[in-house]
Amino acid sequence: MSSKGQTRGHLIVYPRFLRPSSVSIVKSFALIRVTESMDKHQRSILLSEEAQLIEQLAIIRTKLNTLAPIAVLPPEILLHILSLCAQRTHPIMRQYCRHVMAFTQVCRQWRSLALQTSKLWTTIDLCNTAYASTFLTRSKDAQIALVAISPLKSYGESIERHRNRISSIDAILFPDSMLALFRSIDADDVITLNNLTELNLRTPFIIGHVDLSCLQIPAVRRLSLEGVKVDWESCNGLISLRLCGLPITHAPTYHQLLGMLERSPFLEEVELEDAVPVDIESYKSRPPISLPYLSKMTIGSKKADVVRVFQGGIIVPSSTQVKIRCPAVTNWAVPSDVNLSGYIDPGFSPDVLYSIAQYYNTRTILAGVATMM
């Protein structure tokens, strides 16, 4: 038996003098309610004071921001800074998109400027549907650059209404995705992009090749194609030309290739890797094409005929850098009247880079290489 009560079954019976009265219970509840009410009132006061302090701090921060040097910059300079920041964070396309989106979250001024400036939204990542749709809308009527760097993803929506705004396309896609991309730009039998100035198309080498001979690119100045065929007759005014991994069925003919060069008098760079014309012997000789602005020329082929074609087909300045890859040639016979010292390093291999100081020597060396089979 306990000293305070005794147990009867499961019921504990307290002595009468220890039983709490109903009055004391009521007083206890009243005290609790009063305490809670005081706590709520005090909490409300503290929250109000906190809100006032936060507002005061925001006012102070706003004043400090207005005194910052960047706050007094003209919108044009601030926009240029934002563009540079976006470009410096662009090794991967997705990082570029995220950083441009982040500019709209810095402050009211930056958000307003970014949303009103279409230039910030002109690089469209076609591998991200959400970003692509947003950027296409915010770029308004500005010229846009389409980028697709993932062969496994592509933009599924039509962008035909933006066709005349496309100034650049850089894509590495599987053949079906490549065809789908250009069909989303224009569903006609002949696709003409009059405002496209840069085109860089690649397909995974082991997958196959793409026939885009329906694509006309009269305004392209920088053309780089790997495994992709376009309408060669529409190419003119090129500054840079790069063709790689084109089989006989997709490579330009000798006539088409020289035609592109002839229509591009300001050409600065040429690179041909496994893009050999098939009708070299059947094509009649023509006057050499002069490329006075050519600074770099790379020719790669399993056959030395392509070297001979260029030796007889073009005239390059004496300062042109020439790189020739021809694994079939094991003996680089160069005429004895050519002084190699100062032009070619001793022990040069079939993959050799050299700068020729005289055009005569350039033609002689190329002729010597081309005649060795």
Query: What is the pLDDT tens value at each position of the chain, 373 positions in all?
Result: 444 445 445 455 545 554 555 656 666 666 777 677 777 778 888 888 999 999 999 889 888 877 777 667 787 787 777 777 766 554 455 555 666 777 777 777 778 888 888 888 888 888 877 788 888 988 889 999 998 877 666 666 778 889 999 999 999 888 888 998 999 998 888 999 999 999 999 988 767 789 999 999 999 999 999 999 999 999 999 999 999 988 888 889 888 888 899 999 999 999 988 776 656 665 556 788 899 999 998 888 777 766 666 666 788 888 888 887 776 554 444 444 433 333 333 333 333 333 333 333 444 444 444 444 3
pTM of the model: 0.69
Give yes or no for a contact between 146 and 168, defined as CB atoms under 8 angstroms apart.
yes
How many whole angstroms separate alpha carbon 45 and alpha carbon 4?
A: 46
Measured in whole angstroms, the distance separating CA 208 from the mean position of its chain's CA atoms is 23
How many whole angstroms separate alpha carbon 38 and alpha carbon 265?
A: 89
**What are the two backbone dihedrals, phi and then psi, of residue 166, each rounded to the nearest 5 degrees?**
-80, 120
Classified as helix, coil or strand, 83 is helix
E strands, the chain, where? 6-8, 11-13, 123-125, 144-148, 166-172, 191-192, 198-202, 210-212, 215-216, 222-226, 228-230, 240-244, 269-273, 289-290, 296-300, 314-315, 321-325, 351-355
Q: In 3D, which of 277, 369, 280, 287 has the Cα closest to residue 328?
A: 369
188: which 2 tokens? 């006609």
